[in-house]
Amino acid sequence: MGSNIQERFRVSNGMAFFLIHTMQIGIGLLGYERYIAINAEYDSWISIIITGVSIHLILWMMYSMLNKEKGDLIAIHTRAYGHYIGKFFSFLFAIYFLLMGATVLRSYLEVVQVWMYPDLQEPIFLIFFAVLLYYTISAGFKTVTGIAFFGVILPSFLIFFLFFPLQYSDWDYLQPVFNHSIKDILLSSKAATLEYIGFEVILILYPFLKKPEKSQKWGQFGILFSTFLYVIVAIVTFSYFSQEQLGRTIWATLSMFKIVEFPFVERFEYLAIAVWALIIFPNICISLWCAGRTLKRAFHIRQRGSLIVMLLIVYVLQLLIPDRETTDLFITTVSRVGFYLIYFYTPFLFIVFHLQSRRRSR
């Protein structure tokens, strides 16, 4: 079920790396340091590694279900809960993906407004963006994957600019290592999971890979690379800011770019924000595509039709959020849902699914 996708619509296995990695790296990378450092302070780079390991495990669970079912989440839901309840859960997933896309766009707009254009006229800007999203997503999964590929490759040069803040690094701030309780480190790990959510899309796009059973290593590589990036950026940030200073810096990564100076580019962070559009764009595309795909599989709704409705919802949602507090609330709510989805729902589904399929094979 669900695996009868024509060969010409499929993408190669290696793309699982880009699809998963690009979903994890997004707007969070601009300012996650402050949140993860709340509990474990400057030991929290350890927390990132712990979270990374746990995410590898969750992805393995997902692949174990997908490989057995040889289908996608909708098929797994049907197998685990039966026809109607399964569809209900799939619908919840569709809403989750839609809201995920909306949060990413919202947080990006916030950065643009604070740093570049305080009097940006959102309604007009969003129309441009919505048209672009429609144009890309309606072209199909292959195009979305291509965007994911470029969304990783093109902005990757930014990593070299960490060299500039590194010149100001003070390693005293990171010492002594392991000076926090296990509880604090785990609490920071919990905060770090928010940076990893998004890889659940594999549950939907699995059948679109050429030999999906063999794609797991690429997916795991994608997570490994995300962990690597988060740890490196966190360590550079911690050596660049003092602890209390970081607590007062909302977009720490972006603030680090403020130190970059070239004779021809006075303010590098503006360039970084513009390039960040390339990072978040595939994020939104994949989320919305997955939402549409879920609706199509569960309720046989045409993807183009649902896409227009979803874009409208995203559009209205952006305009309904008035201030920073609400934005923050919106983002935390969606990411909290993501947290429970990963650490509670996925293992639960894993157990139910395997029990059910064993019962059936008997």
Partner 1 sequence: MMIRIISLILACILLMAGCTTKQEILDDINLITLIGYDHTDDRKSQGTVAVPQYKPDGTVQNEYYSAIGEIGQDIGQQLALQTQRPLVNGKLEIVLFGIEFAEKGVIETNDIFRRDPSVSANMKLAVYDGNVHDFIVNHRIPNQDLGMALTKLIEQNSKQETFPRTNIHLFFRTYFTKGKDPFLPLLGMKDGKVYLKGVSLFKEGKMVSALPASDLTMFTLLHSGFDSGSFVLPVKELNAEVSLGHIDAEPKVEMRGNVNSPQITYTIKLKGLINEYSGDIKGIEKKVKLIEKSVNSVLEKRAESLINSLQQQGLDPLGIGKRANAHYRDWDVKEWNEQYPELDIKVKFQTNITESGVIR
CA trace torsion 287, 289, 293, 294 (10° rounding):
20
Structure tokens at 308: 């227009």
Residue 266 as a binder of partner 1 (CB under 8 A): the answer is yes
Check residue 18 for interaction with partner 1 (CB under 8 A): no
- Give whichever of 6 and 121 is closer to partner 1, judged by the CB atom: 121
From residue 175 to residue 204, the character string flagging contacts with partner 1 as x (rule: CB under 8 A) and all else as - is xx--x-------------------------
SS3 11: strand
Tell me if 355 contacts partner 1 by CB under 8 A: no
Minimal distance, residue 171 CB to partner 1, in Å: 8
Minimal distance, residue 136 CB to partner 1, in Å:
5
Cα–Cα dist 262/247, whole Å: 28
Report the SS3 class of residue 321.
Answer: coil
Phi, psi of 301 (to 5 degrees): -95, 135
Q: Is 278 in the site for partner 1 (CB under 8 A)?
A: yes
Q: Minimum distance between the CB of residue 190 and partner 1, rounded to whole angstroms?
A: 24
DSSP string, 304-344: HHHHHHHHHHHHHHHHH--SHHHHHHHHHHHHHHHHHIIII
Under the criterion CB under 8 A, does residue 322 sit at the interface with partner 1? no
Dist CA 42 CA 235 (whole Å): 8
Q: How many residues bind partner 1 (CB under 8 A)?
A: 49
Residue pointed to by tokens 């990963």 = 342
315 is an interface residue for partner 1 by CB under 8 A? no
Task: Give yes or no for residue 261 binding partner 1 (CB under 8 A).
Answer: yes
Q: How far is the CB of 101 from partner 1 (least distance, A)?
A: 16
Enumerate the β-bridge partners of residue 11: 209
Other C-beta atoms closer than 10 Å to the C-beta of 87 total 18
In DSSP terms, 190 is beta-bridged to none
Q: Is residue 143 at the binding interface for partner 1, with CB under 8 A as the rule?
A: yes
**Residues engaged in binding partner 1 (CB under 8 A):** 112, 114-122, 124-125, 128-129, 132, 135-136, 139, 143, 146-147, 150, 154, 168, 170, 172-176, 179, 240-245, 248, 255, 258-259, 261, 266-267, 269, 274, 277-278, 281
